[in-house]
Structure 1
Amino acid sequence: MVIVYISVAIVAIAIVVLIFYIIQTLKSAQGVVTQLGNTAEAVEKQLQGITTETEHLVKTTNRLAEDFESKSGSLDGLFSTAEELSEATERVTGSIQNISTTVSEETERNAGQVAKAVQWGSACLELYDKWKSRRNQEEHEERN
């Protein structure tokens, strides 16, 4: 019977040691679970910060998109004005070309008459110069 008592004592000691190691393992597991809880809280806080920043970024992006849309809308008038200015410039250029062509054609048509008028003018000036020089000569002779 002593062997039975010794066997029961050994089994009891083994059960006590086993319970001791199970308690140690559970304490370690409790520490890991606590760290996981702390990590989960930290991740949750970071996610809240990221969510807040993302919402701010989305709002800023929407404001920029609205601002861009309004500014691009205001540029439509500028492009329209530039197009109208281009059309007006083309019309003015066409008018100037027409006037130049007309003047050139009229000049070519009247070139002969202009040449005759210049010849008559030159002839009149020569006659006037001859008359003036004779008159001056006559006055000079009268004085001497």
Structure 2
Amino acid sequence: MDFSGINWLGVAVAGVVAMVIGGLWYGLVFAKPWQRAAGVTDEQLTRGAPLAYGASLLLALVMAIVLAPLIAGGGALFGTFAGLAVGLGWVATSLGMIALFERRPFAHWAVNAGYAIVSYTAMGAILGAFQA
């Protein structure tokens, strides 16, 4: 994997966008269904929140760094489909396998997989646009 052609501004934007999507996804859109399915209380979510947000940003940047060479200079459209393929074909399916063995409810997998699909698709589009 060649990391020399990475547009670092694109990586930063993609990482931040993944965090924004996550905030909307888990905070506004699917907060209560996800909490019920995951068995997480409001109190548990507030404990250690700064560390969770900081570590999540770091992980989102790692996701973007690893995705960037796969997209290379393919452009925004290619990046969109590459991000969709990664989110759906690798991440959502992996989460599905884990959920099956953990005996998690379908809603738990659906919310998490949906976030992965949407965030990777957005990151792919951003990285493709920045690296074109």
Both structures adopt the same fold (TM-score exceeding 0.5): no
TM superposition score normalised by structure 2: 0.22
Higher relative contact order (CA 8 A, sep 6+): 2
Larger Rg: 1
TM superposition score normalised by structure 1: 0.20
